[in-house]
Structures are given as C-alpha cells and as structure tokens.
Amino acid sequence: MIALAARGRVKFHEPDEYICWQSSPHTFFIYVIQQGSVSLWDEAANPPALRDIRGAGDCIGFERFNGSPASLHSAKAATEVMLYALPAADFEPLLARHPRAAAYVSASSAVTADYAAASERPLPHETFLADLLRGRAPVCCPASAPIRVAALLLSVSGADALALMDGEQLSALLTASDLLRWVAGGAPDPEQSARNIASATTVTVAPQTMVSDCVLAMAEARTSAAALTSDGSRGTTIHSVVTAAGLAPAFGDHPVTMLQEIAVALDAASLRALNLRARSWIRDNLAAPPALDWLASWADVVNRRILERLLQITGAHQSDSLFCFYGAAGRQELLTSLAPGIAVIGAAPPSLDTALAECGYLSPESPVVASLDEWKARFSGWIRDPIRTQVYGSHPFFDLRPVHGPGHVFDELESHVRAELAAEPAFLRILANDCLSTLPPLTFFRDLVVEESGEQTDTFRLESSTLQPLVDVARVFAIASGNPLGASTRQRFQQARRLLPAQEAIFREAAEAMRIVLFHQARAGLRMGSGGSALPPRPPGAQELLPFHPQSAGIHRAVRLDGGVLIWAPETPVEQVRFVVLDSETTGLNPRKDRIVTIGAIGVLNHEVLIEDSFEALLKVEYNSSAVTVHGVTREESLVGLDEPEALMQFLAYLDDGVIVGHHIGHDVETFNAGYERHFGFRMPNPSLDTMALTLHLERDGAFAGRDPIQEFSLDALCTLFDSIPHDRHTAPGDAFMTALVFQRLLRLAAKHNRTTLARLLEPFEP
C-alpha cells in the first residue's frame, strides 16, 4: 500500500469541475476523496439526473474492477475537492491479496462482467464472435467432392459458404461468389474437385475474436467468409463458418457488404452513395473512444477501396504508378468525409480530385505527382535544407503510406529517406522544435476556450490546437526510432515508449489522449458534415467535454532530445512548467555556516501534486545543534545518511529543469547554493518562487476578497486558510507536501487573476 501511494498524485477541483465523464474510458487512476464532496450524474437522462453524493474517504472509479469498460456516471465536484489519485494498474493486484478489500470493491457498484445498459446493443468491438454464432454448425463437404455436389449442398442448405474438409482438417472455404465466378468462366468440368475453384485465401479466427476484428480480417483478405476454429488455425476443429449474413445481427448496415458493393460499383454516383452510407455507419457505431481504433482501420479500408475502384473505372489500375495516402489518411486517422491526401509516384489519371468530389468526399485536392527520382530529391531537400525548403508545410508527407501499386517502389523511397535522415541528425532537432509552434489551449472557462496567448474564443480549434501537436510530437519520435514513414500516431507513441522507456507513462497517456481527441473530431465531423477541425467546447445537446491530457507539457519537454536542462521562457504557461516544491531542515539559520540535515521535495505539474515525482534524503551531520528540538534528527540518527556532496548531486539530478518553490524559500536556496559552491564551485541555475510572496501578490490582487483578513503568512496559517490538515510538520518531506498543497490552491487563484505565465508568478513582491 505504501508503494501504491508513492506512485500517486494529488488533484484539486473547484466546484462544478468534472473529474470524469460518463461513458468515457477510465483514466489510469482511481480516486480517493480526501476533502470535499463529489456528485455523480447520469447525463444520459434528459435532464441529467443526480445519482449519488460521495464524501471524504469514498472512492471514484471502482466500477472498472467489476467489468464496466467506461465510467458509469459523470463525477463532478460539488464543493472544493482534493483527491488522491492512485494508479489503477497497481491497485488491482492488491485485490487478489486482500479478500476484504476485494469484497468492498465488488459491493461498491452493481456491475457484472458483461455490463450494458438495458437499452444498449453490444457494439462490434465488445462482442465475441463465438457468442454471436453460438449454435450455428458449419456446412461441410469433402474437398475432393465435385463442384456439382458442393453447389447442390449450398443450394439445399441455404448457406452462403461451406467448409471443404480434408478429413478432420479445414482445406478451404467455398462461397457462392466462387461458384458464380466459375459459372461466368463457362462452368468447365462440373465433376472436378470443388477445391479447384475455391479462393486461395482462407481466413480463420478463434472463438475469442471480436466481431470487429473478424470484419477487418475479412476486409483485408477481400473475402466474404471466414472459419471459426478452436484456436484460430486450420488444423483444429471448425465450429462455424462466418459470412456477412452471420455477422448481420451485430450491425445495422453491414460493413463487409458495403465493401463488396464498393468493389463492383458501376460509377462515381454509386460510389458516392456507398461512401455516404459508410460515414453514416461509422457515426452510428462510434459510441465511445474505444471503438475508434477498429473504426479508423475500417474507414481506411473504405478509402482505399473507393480509390481502387475509381482507378479501375478510369482504366488506371494497371499502370506502374504507386498511389499513396499522406497526412491523416496516411496515418489511418481519417474517419470523416474529408478527401484523403493522395501522392503518386509515377503518373496519375486526369481530374482525380474531381472524381473524388463526385464520390462524396469533401475538399479534395489534386494529387501530388512526381517520379521516384523527384520524390527522392524532395525528401533530400526537406531533410538537408529544412529552412529554405520550408519543411514545416511538408510534414504530412512524412506520413506517406502505399495503398495501391508496386510496393518495391515505396521500399526504395523509404530506404532513401532513412539514409538521408542518418546523414543529417540535425533535422530531427529542427522537426522537434517545430512541435512547440502549436500548443493546446490552456483551459475551458465558462464555455470559452482560453488559448496560450490569453485569447478567449467560443470555438475550440480541435485539429490545430490539440490533434496536430500530438501528431507532430509522435512523428518526431517515429523518425528517431528509425521509422520515418507511414504509421498511425498511436503506433508512433508505442515506438516512443520503446525509445524512451523512462517516459513510458507520458507516451501511454499521450496515445490515449490522441484516441479521445480523434474520437471527438470524428463525432463532430460526421455529425456536422465537415472535417471536425473545430467545435464549441460544449456542443449543443450533449456535454462532450474534451478531457485535456494532463501530461501535454511533459510530452513537449520530452521532445527536447538534447538532454540538457530546459530553461523556461518567461512567457511559458504555468500549466507547462514543472515546479519542485522544496523544504529542508538545517542545523541553523546561517547558510554559510550551517548544514543541511534532511531534504524533502515533490513535483507539481499542471496543477497536480505528483507523489511519484518526489525526493527525500537524510544527510550526515557532525554535531547536534539547538535545531534538533525542531526537526528531531540527532547526530547519531544521521550516521546512516548520505555525505553532503552525494546528497546535493542526487538532488540536482532530480531537480533537473524544475522551478523551485517553497515557503520562505530564500533560506533553503542559499543553504543549497552554499553547499554547491563549497563542493563544486557553482550555484543552481533554477529560478525559485516563494509561496509567501505569491500569497501577498494575490492578496493585493483581491483573490481573498470575501474571506477573513489574513493575519499572518506562516505555512500553518495558509493551511488553515485552505482547510488543509497539516501532516508531519517540521519534517522536510512533510513540510514540502503541505507546501505543495498550498501552492496547488495558490495556482488556481493566480489563474483567475491573470497570473498565467511563469514571469507573472515570479514577479518580486514590493510592499
């Protein structure tokens, strides 16, 4: 339990702030209410209905352990609320070791493993294939049986496909389409083996396969049938044959059927109708962010098949040209009706953009066409001379992915790009620096979007302000990992986790943030018939509040791959700065003469106190002083501590780029600097912030209007002001933690009084 708490964080919420949203995927934390009360709302009701009130000691998020895939209710702060956020992945194993805790969690929410609201139909990504096909035995015949016999068996059984067997082992699947192709070819020799006309590709799936995964497998294999076997291989028992008709109960309009219709569409008008049906179907099935992953893949298949059919209709499908998607389509992140960006290595048919518009796509652009040598030259120019060639506008071409044509052409281009990147390592730094040109908004406030510049608008520029920064950062790490082209943003964050395992938590949360942002973009775009690039912070008719990613500042800091200390610019938004709240106990009050006894520090980022980002050290002291009566550490007890030089270097490594915060912090900073000068000949370069000075600023700003006048500015007095209960006073870790809680509240007040940048926080107080 101690280890669990050590990896947690402390969050503060003002009244009416959301903690989690109904039907949204669970965060990485469960929450314990330390102070205040939280209301739980059913926002699916009209009007929203209050379901529960929870107070100090109660928990939020336990339903995940009882089978619920998403939050059952929206949780909103009813008063000022302080929460302990504990990692859910670390909490769950404890339930197996503590039966009473498991019983408590089980009783905390009435949710079963297959929980679903009574009015909800299970979605494809939530439905096991075996459950959908239960009781449907396969129609089988020997693979050596004549075509005539197999056709008769299909006709009599009414099945769409039958399993051709070699003894007990599956040989192939014969579909009605296979028979039609045979008939169209003149129906030669009906006595020949049915195996001769069956498709060469046989898709097999296991019982635990989700319906969504089966659809994608059938789509990629271009087949209308699959075999359900004991373990997903041909060599085990076959339980059922999956066809479009068998999958129909899980869908309205059927995704496999739509793809089959696209493949035989006669003209652009037919493709337009199918494209509109596909977008409508995606919108209906995009009920929650977890559905996005497979629907994005299916939307990509739709885009590819429409392009392929257009090329067939125009007669360009047999050319030697390679057609690629770039930008959002290249990353498989295009679910709306926006036209995919198309790049061609070779020649393209005329008026392809017009044809895409006729197929129902929005804002199609002419394909970017060049020979292989010209594409190589373009990438060389972007990488070798990024400033002059304005590489910033060419970033989407680093999302290039082949979709139709000779694959070896793309392999040659990608090898060339890798070689150029290896020869120009400085390009990666330039690309990383470009990531900082667009940052997410600071916050939502009273239905307005507050941008980094301080501008307030009623429109949330979803793509440019939130989606694009995540895409750009992920692209940098993909290139650093040696994979410069053609992967989704979430796949690229997975590569980043392997590249920088110490930052795994940041990249995991970034991938989840990308999923949520893309979900809202797709929902908005499909609903409004647009690309979903902008939306109001609270769309009419629903409270689709976009949960901002708490580690976005950490992502941008991680882009600085040079490993040096980051010097914060004065205009840096407060939410992006890592603060290190410091407290130390010393042998006296003379920084030059006295020595450090204990050090306690804890990180604060984006208004959260990060318990996992903490530091604690005991130092050896040579003598007892009168200060022992305050901190209680004697010379004898300190003998197990660190030598001063070692402790100072460990703290400096922990401090990194942090802005030092403390109550009456000047004494601590001077004592530390005296130690650094004594042993190493330098002083800490980090700026520092005194919580007392910030409190005085805020009092002058009127932040405490309506409260009793502040009589004193001690740490105990500020704890009383904010109803924080002091713990472990006059110990360095305890005082650092209490100061962090006070600082957390001061930051909220500072934001309301235009102290939103580091420079505004660091302003010296002049009486």
Q: For the ranges 180-194, 219-233, 525-539, which has the lowest average pLDDT?
A: 525-539
What is the structure's pLDDT at 500?
78
Domain 574-761 in CATH 3.30.70.20: no
Where do the domains of the chain lie?
Answer: 2-107, 124-251, 253-399, 425-563, 574-761
Predicted pLDDT of residue 631: 56
- Mean pLDDT of the chain, nearest integer: 82
CATH of domain 2-107: 2.60.120.10
Which pLDDT tens digit goes with each residue over 8-42? 888 989 888 889 888 888 888 899 998 888 988 88
Statement: residue 356 has pLDDT above 70: yes
pLDDT tens digits along 652-677: 888 888 899 999 898 899 999 999 99
The residues, ordered by sequence, that sit 6+ positions from 685 with a Cβ below 8 Å of its Cβ are 565, 567
Is residue 239 within 8 Å of residue 163, measured between CB atoms? no
Residue 99 has a pLDDT of 80
Q: How confident is the model at residue 108 (pLDDT cuts 50, 70, 90)?
A: low
3-state SS class at 305? helix
Question: Exposed, middle or buried: residue 635 (CB in 10 Å: 0-12, 13-18, 19+)?
Answer: middle
Measured distance CA(583)–CA(669) in Å, rounded: 10
Residue of 710 and 765 predicted with greater confidence: 765
Three-state SS sequence of 702-760: CCCCCCCCCCCCCHHHHHHHCCCCCCCCCCHHHHHHHHHHHHHHHHHHHHHCCCCEHHH
Give which of 665, 633, 658, 653 is closest to 742, Cα–Cα.
665
A 10 A CB-CB count for 413 gives 20
Q: Of residues 603 and 570, which shows the higher confidence score?
A: 603
> What's the rounded mean pLDDT across residues 107-129?
56
Residue 157: what pLDDT?
78
Structure tokens at 606: 């984006």
For the stretch 729-747, pLDDT in tens is 668 888 999 999 999 999 9
pLDDT exceeds cutoff 80 at 457: no
Q: What is the reported pLDDT for 461?
A: 61
Question: What percent of the chain stands above pLDDT 70?
Answer: 86
**CATH of the domain spanning 124-251:** 3.10.580.10
Instruction: Calculate mean pLDDT across residues 229-239.
Output: 88
CA distance 295 to 335: 8
Q: What is the pTM of this model?
A: 0.51
pLDDT confidence of residue 545: 38
Q: What is the length of the chain? A: 767
Question: What pLDDT does 257 receive?
Answer: 80
For Cα atoms 408, 414, 418, give the angle at the middle one, nearest 5 degrees: 145
Mean pLDDT of 582-603: 89
251, two tokens: 């869908």
- Is 657 in contact with 621 (CB distance < 8 Å)? no
122 phi/psi in degrees, rounded to 5: -55, 135
pLDDT, tens digit (0-9, with 9 covering 90-100), for 42-75: 888 778 888 788 888 889 988 888 778 788 889 9
Q: Which among 594, 583, 580 has a CA at the least distance from the CA of 644?
A: 594
Categorize the per-residue pLDDT at 464 as very low, low, confident or very high, splitting at 50, 70 and 90.
low
Tens of pLDDT, residue by residue over 699-736, are 888 888 877 777 776 777 888 787 777 666 668 888 99
How many helices (DSSP H) and strands (DSSP E) are in the chain? 27, 26
Name which of 56-70, 123-137, 530-544, 608-622 the model is least confident about. 530-544
Identify the band that residue 316 occupies on the pLDDT scale cut at 50, 70 and 90: confident
